[in-house]
Amino acid sequence: MNPATAPAQPAPNADDLPWWRGAAIYQIYPRSFQDANGDGIGDLPGITERLYHVAALGVDAIWVSPFFTSPMRDFGYDVADYCDVDPIFGTLADFDRMVARAHELGLKVTIDQVYAHTSDQHPWFEESRQNRTNPRADWYVWADPQEDGAPPSNWQSVFGGPAWTWDARRCQYYLHNFLSSQPQINAHNPAVQEALLGVMQFWLDRGVDGFRIDALNFLMHDPALRNNPPAPYDGRRRTRPFDYQLKIYNQSHPGIVGFIERLRALCDRYGAVFTLAEVGGDLAETEMQQYTAGDARLNSAYGFDFLYADRLTPELVVQTQSRWPDAPGTGWPSWAFENHDAPRALTRWCATEHADAFARMKAILLASLRGNIIIYQGEELGLTQVDIPFEQIQDPEAIANWPLTLSRDGARTPMPWQAQGEQGGFTTGTPWLPHGAENHARAADRQEADPSSLLHFTRSLLALRKAHSALRRGDFTVLHAGPDVLAFRREAEGTGVICVLNMSAQAAAWPAGVPLSGAVLVSANGALPGQLPPFAAILLEERD
């Protein structure tokens, strides 16, 4: 494999743009990053301890998944206190130290915010469920039963079963789009919006530089509680009742946009704060662009285009990039190939024997996309999905839908820091999930000692992206998109970079009409101008 080059000069005119435009962001799943106290669960002091690894990659920011007070029914996405740290992760003082250390290392700090629902142990909900007249009685979505006692509508939960649970205290149903222990916020209520804005301000005052807003299109529902229509059958196997409906009325209410504009106005008061929406579902593409349109809404959005794709193809890349043209009023996209909810990309996209080569080709592609790029912890090591036996699964969705839903736990296994030692340097105790022997062999210390490793290759690619304005923020033009070979140009300020990738396990012909001249910035798997061995990838800097 050909080594990557890493130009050191800064991107021209970088100071003219906000820090997040074209940024590389590293996602940290706290439970599995580093355990500092030996209880087998990662924590905030552990993140602080390992931030040098993240900074050395050359990313611009970290995104830290939920660490808030929670009963952990959905591992932190069921928040019981928005403004405190769960004891298993540490304290607010530990958070402050993490932020300070990140800033010392030149890293911005982005955190998750889960506004669509809370835990049923949140004080807001505990008060709301007491009766129909208390001050927070309408802070959640409550509704009377139908005449026969049935739920108010046919809405289904993402995790299986009706999206309504009966509560005898009020003799009403409450809505939950996910677990029954995650009651739905009534964000139509102005008092609720004020409370959520207060939560965001709390973290802004602690020095946070950005927010990823979870399940944003679930924030508001249809107040008339109309039934969702059935979804036309698309030939794929349906594993949940949720898949049988078009999710029109339980989510995606137009009023969400107004709240987004209030969030943006608050963030603008604090300067260059980055806001990123997570949007999934049937209307994801439309909503992502709606939530980021113009200068008064969120900065960026990302969906599940790559995260659940079972193959990486030129067609997939072209489709995703074409939806975000460089046009006035169009938002700025963010891309992730992996995260804590999706199976590891190498397991989805290639055979085991091709993993090393495919990982390098995939890394060049990610570094070359227009938009922000998000690297999930361990992706820089080439981690694969761990097959966890049912008796060790923690994921509530996988338990509820076993064996038809692939466990998310296989992508949440602990980071392997050391090749030696039973727990890979992650903990001195028993880890909450097993490592997986195949990932233990890809430990960070072993790759650190190998100049030809994927870890060093990823660093060189991020340096390359940062040094070339065409890669960081340039436009995207498709030059060739065949069944296996993709070629495109990134261009900014009169300089261009051509990217050519062979996504197959067979050698391929160089696409006709794509230039062969230019300085080789980086190549992988034997790629040369005019030569594309299996999984070859190359970046060429265009010359006049």
Tell me what pLDDT residue 11 has. Answer: 41
1-60 confidence digits (pLDDT tens): 333 333 333 443 455 789 999 999 999 999 999 999 999 999 999 999 999 999 999 999
Grade residue 237 by pLDDT with cuts at 50, 70 and 90.
Answer: confident
Mean pLDDT across 76-91: 98
Q: Which of 35, 278, 287, 397 is catalytic?
A: 278
Superfamily of domain 14-118+187-464: Glycosidases (3.20.20.80)
- Check pLDDT > 90 for residue 226: yes
* Rounded distance between C-alpha atoms, residue 203 and residue 483, angstroms: 47
In the residue annotation, 39 being an active-site residue is answered as: no
Distance CA 524, CA 507 (A): 13
Domain 475-541: CATH superfamily is Golgi alpha-mannosidase II (2.60.40.1180)
Residues linked to residue 68 through DSSP beta bridges, in sequence order? 85
pLDDT in tens, 94-128: 999 999 999 999 999 999 999 999 999 999 999 99
Residue 188's pLDDT is 98
Residues pairing with 541 in the sheet: 497, 519
Is the per-residue pLDDT at 527 higher than 60?
A: yes
Rounded to whole angstroms, the Cα distance separating 363 from 255 reads 38
Among candidates 82, 127, 93, 31, which has minimal Cα distance to 426? 31
What pLDDT does 234 receive?
Answer: 86
Residue 544: the pLDDT is 62
Question: Among 30-39, 396-405, 428-437, which is the least confidently predicted range?
Answer: 396-405
Got the DSSP string for 446-480?
HHHT-TTSHHHHHHHHHHHHHH-HHHHH-EEEEEE
Check if 448 is active-site: no
CA–CA separation, 237 and 406 (whole Å): 14
Q: Which two tokens stand for residue 266?
A: 């608050």
Quick one: pLDDT at residue 406?
Answer: 65
Q: Tell me the domain boundaries of the chain.
A: 14-118+187-464, 475-541
Q: What is the mean pLDDT of the chain?
A: 93
What does the block give as tokens for 513? 């009409």
Select which of 94, 214, 287, 379 is catalytic: 214
Segment 446-462 mean pLDDT = 98
Residue 106 vs residues 58, 374, 428, 498: alpha-carbon distances, Å: 9, 17, 30, 30
- Confidence bin at 401 (pLDDT 50/70/90): low
